[in-house]
Amino acid sequence: MGGDSFDSATYEELLASFADALCVFDRELRFAFVTPSAAAPLGLAASEVIGRTWRELGLPAQVMEPVEARVRSVFAGGEPVRAETPFVGPDGPRHYEYIITPVRAPDGAVKLVSVISRDVTERKRAEHALSSARGFEQKILAIVGHDIRNPLAAIDMAAEMLLRRAEPSSLAERHAERIKRSVGRIHHIVADLLDFTRARHGGIPIAPEKTSLEVICKHVVDELEVSVADHTIELSSDGEAVGFWDPHRIGQAVSNLVGNAVKHSPAGTPVHVTIADGAPAVTLEVRNHGAIPAELLPVIFDPFSRGGEAERAGDGLGLGLFIAQSIVNAHRGRIEVTSSPAEGTRVRVTLPRQC
């Protein structure tokens, strides 16, 4: 056989490089084999560990007794075991992960049991910190979703009453309209924050029903055209594009995509919305005549991203494309974006008829 020979020196180098602790126990629970990484914490050479029990070596019982019980169970049942054991040492709590596997003789009997152990303390700490951060995030957003919406509703109602009583074109009417617009923007921000949290923790929930993508897009385009002054939105479809989707969520995704295309399109240029009614999926394309820098394309759907545009008042949090992508993912669809100065920007959504 060609190549370098696997001699004893190579074998020793391999054992020395093995980061996880590997031990092999015999039926008397004596160490039959250990790697240097397993012996080093004891201040011993591997040869000084072999043939002795963990009690003879003075290893901590709170760590080794659970391991011993699992090693015995593998000897008895012959099935591998994966487990974790906490340990409170002089430097604080630590966690170890174990993979305990039978080593069989030629006749199938369990002759030895190997134990691979790994210190996973830092991973556990990171998981705990992440869990705490998520819990705090959910509490904050619960406050945002409930405690902010209630006073907003009161402000909106008061502004509506002022509008009814104000003289047309008066200063009071202009102030009341400004209040209502600001309330609407805050409602939108709150809704985006709640959807962002849902997307991060289990995904955005959907309630699919038989619906038409063409009808949804017509409604979205009609609503957006009211507020668009220097753009036209051109909608074309080769069929009704019927499928089982959540009409509210799909409408939200379409509104985010078309609204973003309008926002980042040069003044006076149209935005094109095209529906292709195919099988087994329906496609939606939103195209404008603006270009996204190549370095921003990989992160265009990242949360709190505005595609490199300067922040402007009323632009929101930069969650629109992220939420649109999350909605498409919830429908088991696919969303892609291409962009160039010559061709403009094209966002293509593919939706299976059954999500």
Tell me the fold of 8-119. Answer: Beta-Lactamase (3.30.450)
Alpha helices in 40-119 (DSSP H): 46-49, 61-77
All residues at 6 or more sequence positions from 264 whose CB lies less than 8 Å from its CB, including other chains: 288, 290, 292, 307, 309, 345
For 33-53, how does the pLDDT look when each residue is reduced to its tens digit (9 = 90+)? 998 888 887 888 888 999 999
For the chain, what are the domain ranges?
Answer: 8-119, 126-200, 209-352
So what's the pLDDT on residue 127?
Answer: 83
Q: What is the CATH number of domain 126-200?
A: 1.10.287
DSSP letter assigned to residue 45: -
The structure's pTM equals 0.59
Identify the pLDDT of residue 190: 83
The per-residue pLDDT for 314 is: 45
CATH architecture of 209-352: 2-Layer Sandwich (3.30)
pLDDT of residue 93: 78
Q: What region does 4 belong to: left with phi over 0, alpha with psi -120 to 50, or beta?
A: beta
Extract the runs of DSSP E, i.e. beta strands, from the chain. Answer: 21-25, 31-34, 81-89, 92-104, 110-119, 209-212, 233-237, 242-245, 271-277, 281-288, 334-340, 344-352
Angle, vertex CA 343, rays to CA 342 and CA 347, nearest 5: 145
Mean pLDDT by 10 residues, the chain (355 residues): 56 66 93 88 86 90 88 93 77 84 92 90 85 75 74 89 88 89 84 82 88 94 83 88 94 93 89 91 94 88 64 60 94 94 94 89
Tokens of 265: 């399109």
Strand partners, 14: none
Half-sphere exposure of 29 (CA within 13 A, CB side): 17
Which helix H or strand E contains 37, and what residues bound it? Answer: helix 36-39
78-102 as b/e: b if 16+ CB within 10 A? eeebeeebebeeeeeebbbbbebbb
| Beta bridge partner(s), residue 99 | 82, 116
